[in-house]
Structure 1
Amino acid sequence: MLTAQTEQNQRVAASDAQRGMPYFCPSCREQVILKRGTRMMAHFAHRPNSNCRPFSESESQKHLTGKWQLAAYFGPKHVELEPYLQLLAQRPDLLVKREAHQLAVEYQCSPIAAGKLRQRNQGYHAYGLEVIWILGEAYLQTITSVRHAEKWLQYSDKLGWYLIFWETRQQCLIVWHHLTIDGLGGLQGWARTSTGNQVGKRTPKTLTSVQKLIQRRIQMGLHYKNAKWLKLQQFCYEHQRLLQAIPPVCYHFTNAEPLVCESPIIWAALMTVLLSEVPVGSLIRQLDLEKWAAKISTLFDGAQLIQCTTQQLANSWGRQLQRYADLLEQHGILKELAKKSWQLIASPY
């Protein structure tokens, strides 16, 4: 903890606390220990075997440092550090107050289970608070795919799908924005700092290399009888197709929405398996695409987009299906007749 209370219930920062004076946890009211030295960020700690739930998690020096820096970044006049919300038995790292608007800020440096993350969000929302999760710099190295990012991904019209990090050495936010999935299932997009500097873009692999890698994954998965790949192959068998025989058009299905934890090329291939059962000349409606997507959804691990609203999720699926239809239209397989309806004018195989 960076703050504690005196016997008179006054909030005191660890950096301002006096040695020898008693200080207490704002949640459980147990007396806490002041820890301050030349090699560590000043903080308060519970005694061993404390039963205090809201303050039970141990915090690294980077976490403590990051919280101080974030408080300075948002502005000391607008920030309450580690406020204890008694009705929720929760405490955000920061509570940012601007006029009538309040925002709970969580600075996450360590792993956290999806269930616990969801529970915290629900608590804040029930309290009428918006919440934003800012990730520690260690996550910059470990997040490479939807599987790693799913529970942290947030969406806005301005940034698209995005993640926010805090870098303690540079003392700045790093925002990965307009994130999509490349052909192999990895995250790609832009990154910039809170100072406005663009710090790079992940470059996708060439089409030829993606084709080779996808085929290699399928071959290895089937050779070693991996349950996931056997399930996908069984689906293709049932529709008189082979998983290995991915139509060329599907290899162009990249920049996909982060909805499934798998290569979007494989997703597009299974959609195209169902499309191939429709006679050339048939009418294809948005509802058909939605039914096919629902049918193959059981074959994939869906992303746990905990930070996403139901409407945002529905909109994301709408964009995904539209992008798939646009791709087929560009390759002369579909012809648009009206909004959200097309004619199948050529076989995808």
Structure 2
Amino acid sequence: MLIAELNGRLIQADEVSGKSKRAAENSPFSKPAYHCPSCHESVVLKHGQSRIAHFSHLSISQCPYSENESQAHLAGKMKIKQDVTALGHPAVLEHVFSNINQRADVYVPTLQTVIEYQCSPISFAEIKRRTAGYHQVARRVLWILGARYNTGTYHSDMVARFAQYHCRLGFYFICFSKEVGYYCLHYQIREVAGKLTADTQNFFSLKALLQFLKSGEPTAKWRANTNTTRRLLLHQLQNIQRSNLKRGRTWLPSVSDCYAFNRLFVGCPMICHGHQGSGLPIFHQSILCWRVWLILRLFDDGYRFISDDLLAGLLELSREKFGLEFAQINDNHRFFKMAFKRLLIELHDQGYLRHSVAGIQILKQPVWFDSYDQKRWFILTADRFL
């Protein structure tokens, strides 16, 4: 840790002068004179030419802040504090909120903002717990991730843990590495044909990053040409077929669900893939699984008319079954409503249904493919996929 108590006041490790260090070490009353601000146990100052000055508990301690921090984590916290201070806002390192028993890496009192710099692995439950705790004492909580997360590879569990939502930027998270010296914004995180992808942009100051978040034109929606869409859909189709042949469990729930309706999951209608097979990263399974589940229940249950109440029930059931829980986003209902509305619009535009005053009227059935080869040939040769 970077902060300790010395003679009743808080002091930062890199601000300890040689004089105060010698005075503390030579004190006949307290050796050493530094104490942990949380548990008040004795801590010792550690520093050298190759490592950042910091405090460490003298012995094995039950204090939650006695863990060994990496040099990258220590350096990152200090740099973030410096960047916040450069914006004209006083920042406090390792601020202890005693009423919730949590310590913020950086706290900005004037903005009532907590900043957590996360370099090591952390569970979904722990992020959610800490975030909920900080929201009791602060207005905003911002997680900035270390270099281990700045890989360009995205998974649903990573989105669930760290993603936040911005009206212009969509789902996003921020990385920072002291070694490379810039902030990297990963934004417009989306699922494309079963794979999560995102746009990235680097900023060499926190000020530039915040300006980008606050201003500028809305980011253009992602679009792919026909050949790119064809390649992505074929790749997804091949993954499904390969998994089925190997009796994999990745797609098994959807395969079994389709089997109950005498359908082949790999032969699902093209409308199930949507435009370019893309969508919001709000599913713990692929968006394809969610859309197939809904298509089966909208068209294969024999309905000619579906009321608004039944549609609302299907939406809620699908959210409970496929919805991704977020640690830092409280309400995922709105995203499901957006995705559901988009699906109904696509079905309307393709002539499968018609809206009425109290619901929708089914006009025709989507075409299912009889085999993997038949669908693959269609994707290879079609000028339009919908």
Quickly name the TM-score band, shorter chain normalised: 0.7 to 0.9
Deviation at 1:105, TM superposition (A): 0.9
Structure 1 unpaired stretches of 5+? none
- Residue in structure 2 matching 1:87, options 96, 99, 107: 99
The 5 A counterparts of 1:179-258 are: 179-189=189-199, 191-193=201-203, 194=206, 195=208, 206-253=228-275, 254-258=277-281
The alpha carbon displacement at 1:296 in A equals 4.6
Q: State the alpha-carbon separation in 1 of the partners of residues 200 and 271 from structure 2.
A: 26
Distance 1:298 1:128, change over 3 A: closer
SS across alignment from 1:91: strand
The answer on whether the counterparts of 1:154 and 1:162 sit within 8 Å (CA) in structure 2 is yes
Percent same amino acid at aligned positions?
Answer: 25
**1:346 correspondence with 2:356:** no
**Alignment deviations for residues 95-126 of structure 1 (CA, whole Å, 9 cap, x no partner):** 1122xx41111111111111222221222223
Query: 1:27·1:84 contact (CA, 8 Å) conserved in 2?
Result: yes
1:166/1:6 CA distance change after superposition, 3 Å: same
Matches within 5 A, 1:118-133: 118-133=128-143
Alignment-derived partner of residue 59 in structure 1 = 69
CA distance 1:104–1:11, change in 2 (3 Å): same
- Choose from 324, 329, 337 the match for 1:303: 324
**Is the 1:175–1:192 Cα contact (8 Å) retained in structure 2?**
yes
Tell me if structure 2 keeps the 8 A contact 1:94–1:104.
yes
Structure 2 partner of 1:147: 157
Alpha-carbon shift at residue 240 of structure 1 (Å): 2.3
Alpha-carbon distance in structure 2 between the residues aligned to 1:305 and 1:298: 13
Matched, 1:26 2:47: no
* Structure with greater Cα Rg: 2
- Does residue 97 of structure 1 match 2:109? yes
Give the match's secondary structure for 1:326.
helix
Shift of 1:12: 1.2
Hey, what does 2:340 align to over in structure 1? 321
Residue 319 of structure 2 contacts residue 336 of structure 2 at CA under 8 Å; is this kept in 1?
no
What CA distance in whole angstroms lies between the structure 2 residues aligned with 1:285 and 1:82? 55
Aligned residues: 339
SS at 1:155 equivalent: strand
> Hey, what's the Cα distance between the residues in 2 that align with 1:246 and 1:223?
17
Structure 2: distance between partners of 1:60 and 1:142: 23
Within the candidate set 280, 286, 301, 1:263 is matched to 286
**Counterpart of 1:15 in structure 2: which amino acid?**
D
| 2-structure distance, mates of 1:191, 1:219 | 36
Does residue 106 in structure 1 map to residue 116 in structure 2? yes
CA contact (8 A) 2:191 2:278 kept: yes
Deviation at 1:235, TM superposition (A): 0.9
* C-alpha contact 1:185 1:262 (8 A) present in aligned 2: no
In structure 2, the residue matched to 1:14 is: 13
Q: Aligned-pair distance for 1:293? A: 4.0
Q: What SS does structure 1 have at the residue aligned with 2:95?
A: coil
Contact 2:187–2:198 (Cα < 8 Å) also in 1 = no
Q: Secondary structure at the match of 1:271?
A: helix
Counterparts in 2 of 1:47 and 1:263: CA distance versus 1, 3 Å: same
Question: How far off its partner does 1:341 sit?
Answer: 4.5
Higher helix share: 2
- Which of 318, 330, 335 aligns to 2:349? It is 330
Matched, 1:165 2:165: no
Q: 1:298 to 1:79 in 2, by over 3 A?
A: closer
- Aligned-pair distance for 1:265? 2.2
TM-score of the two chains, using structure 2 as the length reference = 0.78
Question: How many angstroms does 1:92 deviate by?
Answer: 0.4
Contact 2:315 2:337 in 1 (8 A): no
Q: Which amino acid aligns with 1:274?
A: R
Residues 203, 40 of structure 1: alpha-carbon distance in 2 compared, 3 angstrom cutoff: farther
My pick for the range that moved more, 26-35 or 139-148, is 139-148
Paired with 1:316 and 1:299, the residues of 2 have a C-alpha distance of 15
Q: CA deviation at 1:144?
A: 1.1
Match of 2:5 in 1: 5
Give the whole-Å Cα distance in 2 for the aligned partners of 1:135 and 1:202: 25
Structure 2: stretches of 5+ with no match in the other structure: 25-32, 368-386
2:379 maps to which residue?
A: none
Deviations 1:197-220 (A, max 9, x none): 89xx99868222233222222223
Is 1:42 matched with 2:64? no
Task: Look up the equivalent residue of 1:255 and give its one-letter code.
Answer: S
